[in-house]
Amino acid sequence: MLLELTRVDYTLIGLTQPRCMKLLPNAGLKSIQKVAAGGIDGVLQVFSFKKGEIQMIFKTLPSEKISSLELGGPLGGLQDKIFVSTKNEVRGYTKKGKVFLGFDTNLTESINSMHVSGSDLLVAGTHVYNHFKDCNDMNSYLSSDTINDVIALSVDKTGRLTAILACEDRMLRVIDKSTLSFSAPLSSPPTTIALLNNDGGDTGDKVVYATQDGQLGLIHVTRSKYNWKWIIPNNKGREGARTLAWHDITKDGTQNLIVGRDDGSIQIYGEPLERISDMDPLIERYNFSTQVTLVRAPHFEENFTSRTSNFMLEVKSIFKESTRNIYSYFDMVLNNCTLCRNEIEGIERTVVKERARYQLATQEDSVGISVIPYLNISDKMTLIKDESLFQLTIEMETAIDNILLQSDVPIKLLDVEKNSAVVSLSGCEPNSGNKVVATYRCQVNTTKVSLIIELGTESGTLVVYVTPHAQPKACHVRTYILKHLGHYFRTHNFDNARSISTLILKGSFSMAEIHNWIAKCLPEVPEKIPISDTVTYHYMSSFIETILFCTY
């Protein structure tokens, strides 16, 4: 069945973290769809849409950054209770805005991810996982590496509470109470995990995961073991997946997998999922050009998404064989165009007034003070294993004017097909300490820039100055450490039979000093020192596929 995806912008809600937007389930067929969104400004807002217009149900006052938002309720019942986490506190709201829970977990780490299952609350910080039942601390687990996401298998179908931790060291850890049952190795760090069909499938113990290198997979988790059901390799060069959702968007009685990625694209995958490793059952895709942080579509034909650049929007699906649906959709588009035109005219009048007020406040004899705006930046540098290159991605909530790169070691800047910025290289003085100075001038309304960098084997520092298109002029500085063995990546698949050379260092140095040395040379080293007596890391070169074992 063919689909045509159309983008509709709704409103500006502020910056959001991943997993901070949900669609509340409908109580009936005629009920209005409600959206709950939490921003980094600490504002939780719930609103609905009626005839294309937003109707605010409730909105909280600004507070600490909302790091996670989940829906909960009785097992097997309507999941319409809203839970948000800020620092180490969890608050619960009804769909009408009444606060029914204010729970201080007393954790030493801030909550990064959360999962609610009936009266069970699962929270995860950077390294610590905790399980609370009826606000009582039941179980905990200390992970050796960063926890990216947490989820629990379906209690209704499995009859037990089993937690799954997606960890930065390319592991899915299965936790039973406070004990690690087993770990499932992955080819890349997992970014997010979700239950198959939102309920774990027929047995409630099937989990879909997404990785940093764009791979998707389904794993079946039992009490004592795991097995892979299917894997979608990233053969088309897509970026990492940020969010997963399930919905019967094709109306054929089967759930479709909806994937939102870092490059702003959304893919919709259909059956047959069991043979997904042999074929790529992609139904449709759509590109937003900026990072998609959330995709949600429960019981609705529209898929609501949110992006790091502030907008709440949706992707509408149109079945090409339905003429009646197309006509009704066009009527709605015309109405939305009229509303949008009126809104733009109002915004233009407001901008003219604010610009005049700013010019008046910045006069020489004025008492006004010019303040540099604080703008959030989403940035990351990742290794492209197949090409042994690094991708630097920078995204802002406002338009980017230019980006200046300064490196004290030789690097090579490669062309990016989808990059619209114009690069210019500057000469470096011999005694300045700089090896490369380059400027990227962005086109109008560019909020995201991706750069491909080829590094050598020298260690050094790459400093990036990002200048937004705003007044007064200011730049944001980001610093990246270039490591000697930065082309290596962690792996769980290695050949012990290969002949290797051995280097042994002995001396009166501590475990912390050794850990610090390795972290300065190799990537993907945990921030904290592992608690075990012996630590072993396995690496492979993305350039010549040599292996490296580190044991201390």
For residue range 120-161, what is the model confidence (pLDDT) as tens digits? 999 999 999 999 999 999 999 999 889 999 999 988 888 889
Tell me: pLDDT of 327 over 60.
Answer: no
Q: Can you tell me the distance from the alpha carbon of 541 to that of 383, in angstroms, rounded to the nearest whole number?
A: 11
CA dist 548 → 187, 485, 492 (Å): 16, 10, 12
Beta bridge partners, 467, equal: 402
On whether the CB atoms of residues 113 and 68 are closer than 8 A, the answer is yes
Tokens 């479709």 belong to 256
pLDDT for position 69: 92
Nearest residue to 460 (alpha-carbon basis) of 478, 439, 434, 429: 434
| Band of pLDDT at residue 29, cut at 50, 70 and 90 | low
CATH 2.130.10.10 fits 13-241, yes or no: yes
> Half-sphere exposure of residue 439, counting CA atoms within 13 Å on the CB side?
7
Banded model confidence at residue 369, pLDDT cuts 50, 70, 90: low
- pLDDT category at 366 given cuts 50, 70, 90 is low
pLDDT band at residue 321, thresholds of 50, 70 and 90?
A: very low
**354 Cβ neighbours under 8 A, 6+ residues apart:** none
pLDDT of residue 271: 63
Taking each continuous run of H as one helix and of E as one strand, the counts in the chain are: 3, 40
Instruction: Copy the structure tokens of residue 266.
Output: 């959304």
Residue type, 192: T
To the nearest whole percent, how much of the chain has pLDDT over 70? 86
Q: Decide: residue 448, CB within 10 A, 0-12 exposed, 13-18 middle, 19+ buried.
A: buried
Q: Is 267 in contact with 276 (CB distance < 8 Å)?
A: no
CA angle 258, 73, 87 (to 5 degrees): 80
Q: Which amino acid is at 23?
A: L
pLDDT digits (tens, 9 = 90+) for 162-216: 999 999 989 999 999 899 998 999 988 999 999 988 888 888 889 999 998 888 8
At 141 the pLDDT is 93
CATH 2.130.10.10 occupies which residues in the chain?
13-241
pLDDT at 140: 93
pLDDT of residue 322: 47
Tokens of 333: 């588009």
Point out which residues pair with 170 in neighbouring strands: none
Q: Where are the domain boundaries for CATH 2.60.40.2230 in the chain?
A: 377-482
Task: Find how far residue 55's CA is from the centre of its chain.
Answer: 28
Look at residue 276 in the predicted model and tell me its pLDDT: 44
Looking at residue 549, its amino acid is F
pLDDT of residue 541: 86
pTM of the model: 0.82
pLDDT at position 546 over 60: yes
Q: What is the CATH number of domain 377-482?
A: 2.60.40.2230
State the average pLDDT over residues 109-129.
92
pLDDT recorded at residue 32: 80
pLDDT value, residue 9 = 72
**pLDDT-based confidence at residue 115 (cuts at 50, 70, 90):** very high
Alpha helices in 244-391 (DSSP H): 323-361
